[in-house]
Structure 1
Amino acid sequence: MNAAEETLIVTQARDWHVRQLGGLTPAEADALRDWLDASAAHAAAFEQVGALWSDLGWDEILNAKALDRAAARERRAVRGGGGIRSWLQAVLRPRGLLAAGGAGLLAAALALAVFFTLPGDPLVTGPGAGQTQVYQTAIGEIREVELADGSRVTLGGRTAIRVDFGRDARAVRLVAGGDALFEVARDESRPFTVQAGTLSATVLGTVFEVNRSSGTTAVGVVEGRVRVQGQGGGDAVLQAGDRIVAEAGAPWQREQMQPDQAARWMQTRLAYRDTPLSDIVADVNRYHAGGVRLGSADLGALRVTSSFRIDQLETALSGIALSHGLELVRTGDGGFVIRRPGTAE
């Protein structure tokens, strides 16, 4: 067997392994068995790829079954607690964050030097004090603020929101990419609207999550109902457990989620299913000071299914790179580069 044939078999083994992690259909499972039976070299390569993946020591590979198992564990952990505030406290507490008006600063654990303000104080106040305010977090910071109407917003790392409250409406805009969990105080005379990317979500009083990366915006409902509208004319009413994912230039995808799967970033866990690598890099860079870069722009289009904690970052990125035939390189400033083997930035 020559080098080209060996490379082809390893590539096929890697592809089959990644597909298996995401869950095989019966037809795909039959095709995998046929491929393994066709050659001892196939079986050996598949075994080697699986062994290397296992050696990476991941806590969780995100696929449909893994999500279900994780959700079941988390539901058991918070079962019997008193409603949404108990759930929020449960997901915040494991990381030592403060659930009631506190500033949970992960930067200390990550040895980051960042600036932050006292809980509830906006970093910027526009004209008309009490009407327009901007709240933002630093890299690695998770912070909860209470708004003037009694609503609460938990912001993920490097997230900024602009809050405009008037007599007839309450408006919030995610200024750039970021993560935010909203617990909206009910006020039937003033709808509460969040604008993020191409989506807007309107409620009277409920709990929902908004995530925005460079090319993707998502809205997931934890409790109550949310009306989601898009600039292109899309319109949907989401119930608890519904999630809308909008990628630039693509139709909306409507998904089901367990409400207690929301806001995993509050535990510094990031979870993705069939997500562009560029979005994952953007998210990681809100929680990791060193940052992650791509060796070439086209790598951002690669689709990734994964779940990891920020403290597992290097292991997780190694696995992602491996699954796509790439390599992970540590940089001198504590960051990482994902690139094709043998290339330089």
Structure 2
Amino acid sequence: MPAPRPSLANEAAHWHALQRQGGVTPEQQRQFMKWLVTSPAHLREYITVSRVASELSDAVRGMAVDLDALIAAGPPAADDNVVALPVRRRPPPPVASRASRRHLPGIAAAAALLLGVGVVGHLAWPQTRHYVAAHGAPRSFALPDHTVVHLNAESELSIRFTLLSRRVELSRGQASFVVAEERRPFAVHAAGLEVRDIGTTFDVSLRREQARIEVAEGSVQIRGDSGQGRLLADLRAGQSAHIDYRDQTVSLRQQHIDTMTAWWRRRVVFQDEPLREVAEQFNRLNRVRLQVDDDVAGALRLTGNLRGDDLASLRTFLDQQPSLHTRVVDQRIHVSSRSAAETSAKQP
């Protein structure tokens, strides 16, 4: 088979890159489809630059499809989950030309691939979805590719899946991902960072002053500038990275895997963390709020492992700290440093 002309290879590479980057407009998608079905050569060249298209092609080859009947049937009903071929329907000539017979297998292959795209559309076309977990209501769900997401309370994310990529935007809160294995790359974008999966279970948490990425299985690569910047960290299972929002300085730590996933079971685990951040973890789960009343108390670093909905145990834990004082006022647990509490008590 002769090599494809350079212009055709460039066109295929252009569409490949556009689909991979995401953000394809409806008009661009129509132009892509028009280009794809123009000739079998276009389809063949696109397959050579598309790893996932080859996966779809393999699936279609295993389908029991009568291609001649498919072509003769014309466009399907509007509510069918099949992509229609944009071909003008004309009465067939009495005798098909030799050129028509020669191109029929290629056109049939294109029709079969497009049928496969319709059947397994979640792999082929851009999909956008938005997920929110409300206050006190963490949730777990599966994405269209069967990736399992654990979304913490007061958290929000969006996805965009295309033919060649799987992109997640975490806009607030915390989410863990048990990533389904397939050829399309999976990346999470959050706070100007890109976390790229390499066969992984990992967690991304947007805290007050830093982003935290923890890996329970496999590995991830973290880059700045939404994936266009330098490599900030290459994490393996049992490692975490704390990345400052201001200058993207990175602090690497070893962490027990059970600790990373404890919040899936509504446990709040903290290790040498300031009280103000511990309070935020409890507050996203409970109606009764934990309010830190002074900076000295908020900066106190604590280590513990408590049930997220057990506020009585939380208050007992805080009262056991020599430098802290708690009191309950108007459905709030106020916690302050003892020095601040004593000063307040002396004031008239």
With the shorter chain as reference, the TM-score category is 0.5 to 0.7
Q: Deviations over 1:90-138 (max 9, x none)?
A: xxxxxxxxxxxxxxxxxxxxxxxxxxxxxxxxxxxxxxx9722211112
Are positions 1:199 and 2:196 aligned together? no
**What amino acid does structure 1 have at the position aligned with 2:214?**
G
Q: Which residue is 1:30 aligned to? A: none
Distance in 2, Cα, partners of 1:290 & 1:193: 36
Q: Which residue is 1:235 aligned to? A: 232
- 3-state DSSP class of the match of 2:317? helix
Distance in 2, Cα, partners of 1:135 & 1:151: 14
Distance in 2, Cα, partners of 1:317 & 1:230: 39
Q: Which residue is 1:244 aligned to? A: 241
- 3-state DSSP class of the match of 2:341? coil
| C-alpha spacing 1:261/1:274, structure 2 compared with 1 (3 Å) | closer
Deviation at 1:147, TM superposition (A): 0.9
Distance in 1, Cα, partners of 2:223 & 2:205: 15
Deviation at 1:171, TM superposition (A): 1.4
Larger Rg: 2
Distance in 2, Cα, partners of 1:324 & 1:199: 39
| C-alpha spacing 1:328/1:245, structure 2 compared with 1 (3 Å) | same
Q: Which residue is 1:143 aligned to? A: 139
| C-alpha spacing 1:248/1:157, structure 2 compared with 1 (3 Å) | same
Contact kept, 8 Å, 1:198 with 1:217, in 2: the verdict is no
Distance in 2, Cα, partners of 1:331 & 1:149: 47
Distance in 2, Cα, partners of 1:157 & 1:306: 20
**What amino acid does structure 2 have at the position aligned with 1:341?**
A
Contact kept, 8 Å, 1:150 with 1:185, in 2: the verdict is yes
4+ residue runs of structure 1 moved beyond 4 angstroms?
231-234
Deviation at 1:226, TM superposition (A): 0.8
Q: Which residue is 1:104 aligned to? A: none
Q: Which residue is 1:263 aligned to? A: 261
Question: Which ranges of structure 1 fall in alignment gaps of 5 or more residues?
Answer: 1-128
- 3-state DSSP class of the match of 2:158? strand
Q: Which residue is 1:336 aligned to? A: 333
| C-alpha spacing 1:276/1:147, structure 2 compared with 1 (3 Å) | same
| C-alpha spacing 1:280/1:247, structure 2 compared with 1 (3 Å) | farther
Distance in 1, Cα, partners of 2:128 & 2:272: 37
Higher relative contact order (CA 8 A, sep 6+): 1
Identity of aligned residues (%): 27
**What amino acid does structure 2 have at the position aligned with 1:225?**
S
| C-alpha spacing 1:141/1:299, structure 2 compared with 1 (3 Å) | same
Deviation at 1:186, TM superposition (A): 2.0
- Superposition pairs for residues 157-168 of structure 1, below 5 Å? 157-168=153-164
Are positions 1:223 and 2:217 aligned together? yes
| C-alpha spacing 1:167/1:299, structure 2 compared with 1 (3 Å) | farther
Contact kept, 8 Å, 1:161 with 1:172, in 2: the verdict is yes
**What amino acid does structure 2 have at the position aligned with 1:304?**
L
Contact kept, 8 Å, 2:198 with 2:218, in 1: the verdict is no
- 3-state DSSP class of the match of 1:141? coil
Contact kept, 8 Å, 1:225 with 1:240, in 2: the verdict is yes
Q: Which residue is 2:107 aligned to? A: none
Distance in 1, Cα, partners of 2:243 & 2:316: 28
**What amino acid does structure 1 have at the position aligned with 2:138?**
I
Q: Deviations over 1:178-203 (max 9, x none)?
A: x3220111232x21111233532101
Contact kept, 8 Å, 1:208 with 1:219, in 2: the verdict is yes
Distance in 2, Cα, partners of 1:202 & 1:304: 31
Contact kept, 8 Å, 1:214 with 1:278, in 2: the verdict is no
Contact kept, 8 Å, 2:178 with 2:202, in 1: the verdict is yes
Contact kept, 8 Å, 1:270 with 1:308, in 2: the verdict is yes
Question: Which ranges of structure 2 fall in alignment gaps of 5 or more residues?
Answer: 1-124
Distance in 2, Cα, partners of 1:313 & 1:233: 43
Deviation at 1:168, TM superposition (A): 2.8
Distance in 1, Cα, partners of 2:308 & 2:296: 24
| C-alpha spacing 1:198/1:303, structure 2 compared with 1 (3 Å) | farther
- 3-state DSSP class of the match of 1:323? coil
Contact kept, 8 Å, 1:213 with 1:283, in 2: the verdict is no
Distance in 1, Cα, partners of 2:244 & 2:276: 12
> Size of the alignment, in residue pairs?
213
**What amino acid does structure 2 have at the position aligned with 1:138?**
A
Q: Which residue is 1:175 aligned to? A: 171
Distance in 1, Cα, partners of 2:185 & 2:191: 19
Distance in 1, Cα, partners of 2:280 & 2:161: 30
| C-alpha spacing 1:260/1:279, structure 2 compared with 1 (3 Å) | same
Q: Which residue is 2:77 aligned to? A: none
- Superposition pairs for residues 112-123 of structure 1, below 5 Å? none
Deviation at 1:323, TM superposition (A): 2.5
- 3-state DSSP class of the match of 1:150? coil
Q: Which residue is 2:179 aligned to? A: 184
